[in-house]
Each structure stands twice: as C-alpha cells, then as structure tokens.
A and B are shown apart, each in its own frame.
Chain A
Amino acid sequence: MRPGRQLAVLGFIFVVLYLLVFFSGGASGGWKDRLEPRLGLDLIGGTRMTLEATNTVDGKPPTAENLEEARQIIESRVNAYGVAEAEVVTEGNRNIVISLPGQNRDLTDVGEAAELRFRKVLKAADGSGAAAAPAPSPSVSAAPPGSVKPSGSASPKPSGSASPKASASAKVTASPSAGGQGGMAPAPSASATPTPSASPSAAAPSPSASAEPVPQSIEQQRQAVQQKVGAAAWAAASGLQAPADLTADPSLADKLKPFGTLSPQEIAVLTPEMQFNVPTITCAQLDKRPAGSIKDPKQKAVACEAGAKNLLDVAKVEGTDVKNASAQLDQTSSWVVSLNFTGGGQEKWTALTRESFNNEGQACDQTALGQDGKCRVAVVLDNKIVSSPEIQGVLTGDSQITGSFDNKSANALASQLRYGALPVTFEPQESQNVTATLGDSHLKAGLLAAGIGMLLVIIYSFFYYRLLGSVIFLSLVLSALLVFGALVVLGRSIGFTLTLAGIAGMIVSLGVAADSFVIYFERLKDEIREGRSPRSAVPRAWIRARRTIISANAITLMSAVVLYIVSVGAVKGFAFALGLATVLDLVVVFLFRHPIMTMFARTRAFLSPRVSGLGRALPARSAESGTARNPRVKEA
C-alpha cells in the first residue's frame, strides 16, 4: 500500500469516528455537550438506591452469607448494563446499596425479583380483562425460530389480541437433551391493555368454596375486601368454578365489575381460585401485588405471563432447591439456561417433571397444556412467570431451558434463577443522587498528570530522536484524539464510563504506545548502522519491527480479552480500556507512523545526524563530532 493511501484510511477512520461523536444516536445539546465522555461514579457522582432485604423464612434480617450472595448477584446484574463501573455494597445487616454513575438513573429493575418457585401450570386464561374467553388463536402459535414441529394445531392458546413474545417460548429438556425434539409453541400471550367489558347478566350465586385453610389475619382482610366489593359480587365470584365467560353471561360481568377496582394489595388476599376465575381481575393488577404475595409454596397461586393468567399448582420445587443456573451455548449454538439442582431438589424436580410429563390425574387443564400435550411448569419469580416451558421428559439430571434466547436474555434468566435461589426478598427504597467522591480537583490533577507525563515523553523523544521526535509527538496526539473520540462514542453506545483510574490507565497506555516507536527506531538504527541507506532501511526495519510490535501487542490484547471475559466489576472496565488503547495503538502504528516514515525517508534531511538522530548510529562518520556530545545526551 502506498503511504498516501494508508494516511487516507486513517483520515477516513477519523472522519467516521468524529461524525459518530457529533451525530450518532444519543448525541444532543451543543457542541460541547456532544464532546463529553461519560464520567464515572468517582468523578461526577451518580444515582444510588438502597434495597432492604428480609429473610422470607422468618422475617428476620438475612444471614450475612445470603446478603453477600445477593450483593454479588446484584453486582453482576448491574454490570450487565454495560461497562459502567457500578458500586454495590452491603450496609448494616439488611441493606444493599447500589450506586451507578449518572444522575437520575432508573434503577428499579435492578433489585427486582426474589422468590423463585417452580409450579405446574394447571389452567390458563386471558388476563386482559377482556370479555373474550380463551380461544384458539392462530397468531400465537407461530413457532419460535428453530423449532422443528409445525404448531398451531389442537391445543388452544388462550389469547386476546395476540402479540407473541419471543422470549416467552421455552421448553425444558434434560441436558444433554433427552426428550426434547419437538418445537414448543410460544406461551400464551395477550395484549395487556385491560378493557373490562360490562354486559349485565345474572348468574346463580353459590356458596363460597375457599379450599385451603388460611391464617386469621388474611381471613380478616378478605372480609374487608368482601365488604368493599359487595356481597353480590363476592358471592358471584366465589361461585365460579372456571374463568367466567362474560360474553355468554353479560350480567355476570356487571356483578364482578367491582373486582376491577381493587388495589393490588386487596387482590393479593383473595383465594387463588378467585383471582383466576374472576375475569375482571387483570394481569395489570396481579403484577403489582406486593412482593411475596404468592411466595407460600403450599398454596396454589395465580400469576401472569405475557398477559395471560395462569393458575398454578402448589410449588413442588423451590428456588432453594436450585444449586446453580447458567447461560450456555448448546451444540446448535443457541442459548439455553442450564439448571443444576441440589440433592434433595433433584428428587423433587424429577417427581415434578414426571407428573407434568404424564399429566398425572389430568391435573393440567386443556388450556394449560403445551404444544406436545404435556404440562408446562412455570418458573415463577416473585409475582411473575419468567418462563413456562413445556416438560419434554422425566428429567433426572441437569436440565436445560431452551427457547429463543439470546445471550442477554439467557444470562438474565440464569441470573434471576440464581438470585431467586436465595431465601431473601428485597424492598427497593427510593433512589437518591450522590455527588462525586473525588470530584473536580482530582479530575484536574489527573489531566495535569497526563499533561506532564506526555510532555516528559515528548521532551525525551525529541532529545533522543531529534526530528523523529516530531513523528512520535504527532502519533501521540493522534492516539489521544482517537482514544477521546472512542470514549465519547462508547460512553453513549455501551455505557462505558471513565473513572479516574481509567484516565490514569489511558495515560500509561499512551506511554506504552510511544514504546512501539522505540522498537521501530532502534531497528532503524540497526539497519543504518549496518550500512543501509535510510531509504532502504525504513522498509526493512519496518518489516522486522512490525513482527515484534504485533507479537508484543498481541500479548497485551490477550490479557485484555481474557480479563474482560473472566472478570467482573472494575477489572472488566479496566480490561476494556486496555484493549481499546492497544487496538488504537496498532491503528496509529500501521496507518500513521509507517507511511509517515516512508515519506520521511525520501527527504535528504533524514540522513543528517542533527536532524534525525539516526545518523549517529554511524560510528565512523560521527566519530569526530558525535561521540563527544552524544553520550551525554543518552545519559539524560
């Protein structure tokens, strides 16, 4: 490649990078705002939220180990937002404090979810509150990508106006795949906008049939609700044996209407059957029930998934039975979530999958069956169904949840499963803004240090390499501009934030970048010493130095990549910065320094010892004037 062309490529990279800086998505405000890289927690402060933890078993503060485990899971979850360096600490004996850089960030979903239960899906119904009874809907049965079997056959999918959600489809197979051949139809899905229709009708009230014994306090709360909705509505609701079909019985809808106005807290005290059977109770209400409303494993429960209400069996497997969960790539390179149970948990899980697979006692209603006619088992986190895979076999070992996951959603589910394995619930407190811990003075000092460091390097290179020092100088300026542009763009696109440590790392990396010059110039010196003309020495030295520079940079890059993949938290951010700096160093070396040197070598001044500092490598020629002076130069 001719030197001009390489410089053109570099120029192109520059233009593109800075176009991104100024005009890419998220760029807004004046010129100055667009040029601002995202700064870290220590430099500009951020948002803080406190999560208060409660042990779900006895209501006491959780054990220190549980709290620490929860802290770690939250930390990995927070860091999944990008390479922003978040801070997650425990405070006292029941608080976890999360701080993220940037003011007024929304942190609500970070501390979300807690209790994990595996419940067989007994029945499913529309949860939108719409009048339509569950009806087969061809639009939902579209199979997820990669599914083998065509779907959309017999099994009715409860759905209102359907918008199939890819992540909702899933199945569980034994790993490494024992009985999971068929594709799974997406789980029921419905539009979530509640539109309670009211068409009056009369229904025969029948006596209440609350199956399970309930604690006294809940009984009292239930009575309060009963009074609120009125006796008629309560009686109508209690009499329902199945989700009421309001279109068939318009007067019933009127009677049940008061349930639509209940608060989520009031909904939570109703029996599961009532929550399920009363169509005017919508998923919007169910999803907002207070944390832990359906945590009791001995009670049936109602939970929503993608807008459909599901009546769930008692929880036969609990979160604490899960030993580990991880996102993995299976043989077909699609993402799955692998589940690993504890000893006792495995037995329970095997029993649960057996009764689901065989649909023992026809416990699962037609509406709740998966596409292959097997029961589904819902993974319930807190009040919501995370996933409700159809059971594809009796699973006696590790199990996999497959579906159309991508890297992110598989990791999210695995993290939720691990998180849910903790016997702890969290109540998020209000979020607050915090100021920087280090602040302006440190930022200025850091930049000052950068300035001094670079100045020293440049003085040294001018001293040692004379005019060639200007090449180093220009390359460092270029590197700095590239790094800065990349920081701004990455800050916006992947949330990369710059902490003071990051700034220091960048300073150091620029120093190391200058080092690849030393390799090159020393090579050049060798070549000239061997009697080559600068013109022929430059390409030869380049070929040899390139090999060294590439292998040396390859090692740095390796360390960056390995650390980025393996490590968490601040180290991950650091590894990213290191890798970025190394790649940009290579860009500058190949696209700037080499062509510039090639052009330089064509000039006459290049040969003069005074100008280039290379001529001194010729001992014979410089013996008279050079040796007296040069040594002192080098000792400097």
Chain B
Amino acid sequence: MAKSGLAARLYRGEADLNIVGKRKLWFGVAGALVLIAVLSFAFNGFKLGIEFAGGNSFQVPASVGTLDRAETVVDDALAKEAPGVEVVTAQKVGGAGGETYEMRTGQLSQEQANAAKTAMAQEFGIQADQISGSQVSEAWGSQVTSRAFLGLLIFLAVVSIYLVLRFEWRMAVAAIVSLLTNLVLTSGIYSLVGFEVTPSTIIGFLTILGFALYDVVVVFDKVQENTRGITANNNLTYGEASNLALNQSLMRSLNTSVVALLPVGGLLFIGAGLLGAGTLKDLGLVLFVGMAVAFLTSILLATPLLVLLKNQDPRISAHNKRVLSRRAAVARGEVTPKGAPRPAPTGDQPVDPDAALAGVAPKVGARPTGKRPSGARGGRPGGGGGNRPGGAKRR
C-alpha cells in the first residue's frame, strides 16, 4: 500500500512529504555540493571545446577524393601523431582558386601539425606542401562569453526586482539563491565529470535560467496563496503552510519536469546514440542535467530557504510561537481543538518530531483562503478511508 498510496497522494497533492521540516538536511547537502563544485572549479577546471580554445586547420585539395575519405585520413593521421586530437568540423571550400577541404582540429603543437601534415600527404599520395595548415582562433570569442555573463548578471538584477514586486523580497532572495545554486551545481557536474563545454552548452545553460525560476515561481505562487492572512488564525505555522503548498504543487512540479525532460531526453538519445557527439548531445546533456537539478533545487532548496528567511520576520515568528503554544495546550488537553479529533499519525509516516508536524500541517485550514466552506470537508469524512486510514486526517 505504501507505494501506490504515495502515488495516489501525490496525485491529489496530499503526499505529506515533510520537506520544509528537514530543511537543515537540504541546506547541509546543498552546501556540501556547492563546496565540492567550487573546489572542482578551482582544481579541475573545465574541458573547453575547440570553439573556445582555438585549434588548427588543414586545407587539403579536393582532388584527393570525397570529403568523408579526407576526414577519415586526417583523423587517422592525427591519431598517429597527436593522440586525443580529432577533426571537429570538415567543410568543402570552393572558390576561383579551386576547391579544397578544410578540416578544423583540436590544438596541435607546431611539430605535431607538421608531422600530421606529412602523414596525411603520404596517405593521400600528394606533396606535403599541397596541404596547408594554420592555427585558428576560437570562433566563440571571450567577448561572447563575457557578454553572456554580463547578461546573466543584468537578468538576475531585473528578475530580482520583478520578484520583489510580484512577491516580496524574501521570496526573491530564496528564488535567486536557489537559481544560483542550480547554476553552480550544474557547472559543478560539468567540471567534475569532465563533459566538454561547447557553445551549445553555454546556450543550454542559459535556457536553464528561465526554467529553474519558472519552477520556483510556480511553487511560490502556491505558497503565497496558502499563507495569505496566515497570522489571522492559529492553525498553521508558516513552515507548515509552505510545506503544504509544496506538497500540493509537487505533482505539478513533477509533471512539468517530466514533460520538459521528455523532449530533452529525445535530443540526448538521438544526439549521443545516433550521432555520437555534437550540438544535439551537448545541448541535450546540459539541459537534462540542469533541469533535473532545477527540479530538485526548486523543491528542496527554494521553499525551505524561504521559510528560514520568513521565520526571521518578527510577525511570522510570533505567529509561529502562538501556533505552537496553542498546539501544546491542545495536546495537554487545556483547550479543545476546533476541528474534529485527529487520528494519530499512521505507520507510513516517518516517526520524528518534524514528521509529526507535517502530519499536523495539512489537517486544518488546508486552504487559508477560506473560500471553501468547512462543510465540504465534513461532507465526506470517510473519503478515501476505505483503504487508506491516513487519508482521513486530511479531509
């Protein structure tokens, strides 16, 4: 039952996962991962593609045969003279001066380039001086990267203002911090695993920006709705209300991520499976990693962080105290709770104090908006109770 129960509850937004309560764990994990990522930047660095690092190019007369053959030969020559370097792009260049094939390769030293040229000439059966070679700069200049990062900074500034206006500054801070964590962790994975960074990677990386915030905004939207006027009653602490919102939008987040990851998975599958390497794989990979991380940070980091910040607010912390003391009073039997008596947490709940809180959370005033008449809740007291006793504590 536990398994199907979880899925069913997920579907109804009643999963009761205590995410906010365990925030110390998430912060610890996130902090450790960020630390690892930063250390990896420092010691591992990134493996940059030819577009950033520059490389060599060879011009071979088109008389040697087809482009494919020329590419194979050049690749073989390179494998012999400079292991690890291969042809990145092969093009036919035509003009009044006759047609040539141009191969761009990774970086070679002068000796390697000369040796490779000789080897190629031998294989093609032409004179070595018919092949010309030169060094090529990066196509993706440092300017492109620096401007992209400038754009990133400006975007962060603009979006912070937007979030402050749309929500409030604490939400803006939590959202931006979780976005930054997301970016750092994604880059960290690239640095650690040693995936090659290409222009497509950078572009995919920038796509994650919007996506990660998108996720967070949707969750915060729900949190905001759930916590509007929360101080007016004594049923829920801010953390509990946020946790409830998180649970209610969990299925949505999951769905969103699945729907967005499916096409990306298709890209990755085709890119890596059929073509081996190239733009599609690079883009698919960075999006896959980034979106997966975005899903996790939006759930596990953004909202707990928001609660942490919110609890610093005197109004909220006073409210939380009031709720807790009232709850303690109820437990001691001094005050009669307003709602129906609540069954004890059932077996499928982890037994720890935070989990107990989470169990409480959804119970009362699940929607503080107050639009729903309480009768609706009472109307089906045994709803879902047939096979899942835990469900009764919700509605």
Contacts and interface: CB of A to CB of B under 8 A. Distances in A.
B275 A571 contact: no
A417 B136 CA distance: 27
B139 A461 contact: no
A2 interface: no
B150 A566 contact: yes
B96 A430 contact: yes
Interface stretch (A144-152, A294-302, A337-345, A614-622): A614-622
A58 interface: no
Interface stretch (B27-35, B152-160, B189-197): B152-160
A42 interface: yes
A515 B259 contact: yes
A16 interface: no
Chain A residues touching B, range: 35 or more
Contacts of A627: 4, 8, 384, 387
B71 to A, nearest CB: 11
Interface stretch (A116-124, A315-323, A385-393, A500-508): A500-508
B7 A457 contact: no
A247 B93 CA distance: 55
A78 interface: no
A504 B284 contact: yes
B217 interface: yes
B274 A570 contact: no
Given A501-B200, A578-B210, A89 B96 contact: no
A56 interface: no
A511 B259 contact: yes
A619 B379 CA distance: 13
Nearest to B367: A530
Interface footprint category on B? 35 or more
A72 B376 CA distance: 67
A90 interface: yes
B259 A510 contact: no
Given A505-B207, A511-B263, A559-B155, A436 B139 contact: no
Contact of B202 (A430, A565, A571): A571
A630 B278 contact: no
B203 interface: yes
B279 A504 contact: yes
Given A90-B137, A569-B144, A631 B4 contact: yes
Given A432-B94, A504-B283, A552 B218 contact: yes
Interface stretch (A202-210, A277-285, A440-448): A440-448
A410 to B, nearest CB: 20
A555 B163 CA distance: 9
Contacts, number: 282
Given A434-B91, A464-B255, A556-B214, A574 B266 contact: no
Contacts of A431: 95
Given A555-B210, A634-B11, A501 B203 contact: yes
A504 B137 contact: no
A106 interface: no
B384 A623 contact: yes
A578 B207 contact: yes
A433 interface: yes
Nearest to B154: A562
Interface in A508-524: 508, 510-512, 514-515, 518-519, 522
A89 B8 CA distance: 57
A451 B86 CA distance: 31
Contacts of A406: none
Contacts of B139: 87-89
B97 interface: yes
Interface string B263-290: 1111101110011001110011001000
Interface in A222-255: none
A511 B11 contact: no
A380 B368 CA distance: 72
Nearest to B213: A555
A8 interface: no
A571 B147 contact: yes
Given A555-B210, A616-B11, A631-B8, A460 B141 contact: no
A555 B270 contact: no
A531 B376 contact: yes
B389 to A, nearest CB: 14
Contact of B214 (A501, A552, A616): A552
Given A454-B263, A548-B221, A574-B203, A45 B278 contact: no
B90 interface: yes
Contacts of B275: 441-442, 445
Nearest to A569: B144
A379 B380 CA distance: 84
Interface string A414-452: 000000000000000011111111100110011011111
Centre residue among A88, A554, A623, A632 by max chain B CB count within 10 A: A623
A51 to B, nearest CB: 13
A558 B155 CA distance: 7
B293 to A, nearest CB: 16
Interface of A: 42, 45, 48, 68, 71-72, 75, 87-92, 95, 97, 430-438, 441-442, 445-446, 448-454, 456-457, 460-461, 464, 499-501, 504-505, 507-508, 510-512, 514-515, 518-519, 522, 526, 529-531, 547-548, 551-552, 554-556, 558-560, 562-563, 565-571, 574-575, 578, 616-617, 619-620, 623, 627, 630-632, 634-635
22 contacts: A89-B54, A442-B278, A442-B279, A452-B270, A456-B262, A460-B262, A515-B255, A530-B376, A551-B221, A562-B158, A563-B151, A566-B150, A567-B147, A569-B140, A569-B143, A571-B147, A578-B210, A616-B11, A619-B391, A630-B7, A631-B5, A632-B7
Can you list the 8 inter-chain pairs with the closest CB atoms, starting with the nearest? Answer: A453-B263, A453-B266, A432-B95, A556-B210, A449-B270, A566-B151, A90-B137, A631-B4
